[in-house]
Structure 1
Amino acid sequence: MHDHQGRPDHELGEVQRTHWQETYTEHPGMYGEEPSAAARHAGDVFRAADATDVLELGAGHGRDALYFAQSGFTVTALDFSATGLRQLSDAARSRGVAERVTTTVHDVRAPLPLPDASVDAVFAHMLLCMALSTQEIHAVVGEVRRVLRPAGRFVYTVRHTGDAHYGTGIAHGDDIFEHGGFAVHFFDRALVDALAAGWTLDEVHAFEEGELPRRLWRITQSLPRRGGTAPR
Structure 2
Amino acid sequence: MYGEQPSAPAVYAAGLLQAAGAREVLELGAGHGRDSLYFAREGFHVTATDASSVGLGQLDERAREKDLAPHINTIVHDVRDRLPLPDASMDGVFAHMLLCMALSTKEIHALVDEVRRVLRPGGSFVYTVRHTGDAHYRAGIANGDDIYEHGGFAVHFFDRTLVDDLAEGWTLNEVHSFEEGELPRRLWRVTQTLRR
What aligned pairs does 1:90-109 form with structure 2 within 5 A after superposition?
A: 90-109=61-80
Matched, 1:52 2:23: yes
- In the alignment, residue 170 of structure 1 is paired with which amino acid? I
Of residues 121, 124, 127, the one that matches 1:150 is 121
Q: CA deviation at 1:171?
A: 1.1
Aligned partners of 2:148 and 2:64: how far apart in 1? 37
Q: CA deviation at 1:119?
A: 0.6
* 1:107-160 deviations in Å (ceiling 9; x for gaps): 000000001000100000000000000000000000000000010110000000
Q: TM-score normalised to the size of structure 1?
A: 0.84
- In the alignment, residue 94 of structure 1 is paired with which amino acid? E
Please list every run of 5 or more consecutive structure 2 residues that lacks an aligned counterpart in the other structure.
none
- In the alignment, residue 218 of structure 1 is paired with which amino acid? R
Q: CA deviation at 1:45?
A: 0.7
- In the alignment, residue 120 of structure 1 is paired with which amino acid? D
Corresponding residue of 1:189: 160
RMSD: 0.5
Corresponding residue of 2:180: 209
How many residue pairs get matched? 196
* 1:158-210 deviations in Å (ceiling 9; x for gaps): 00000000001111110001122211000000000000000000000000000
Secondary structure of 1:173's counterpart equals: coil
Aligned partners of 2:36 and 2:68: how far apart in 1? 10
Q: TM-score normalised to the size of structure 2?
A: 0.99
Q: CA deviation at 1:67?
A: 0.3
Q: Quote the sequence identity (%).
A: 72
Corresponding residue of 1:175: 146
| Divergent runs of 4+, >6 A | none
Corresponding residue of 1:67: 38
What aligned pairs does 1:107-122 form with structure 2 within 5 A after superposition?
A: 107-122=78-93
| Structure (1 or 2) with the greater strand fraction | 2
Corresponding residue of 1:134: 105
Please list every run of 5 or more consecutive structure 1 residues that lacks an aligned counterpart in the other structure.
1-29, 226-232
- In the alignment, residue 53 of structure 1 is paired with which amino acid? E
Matched, 1:199 2:183: no
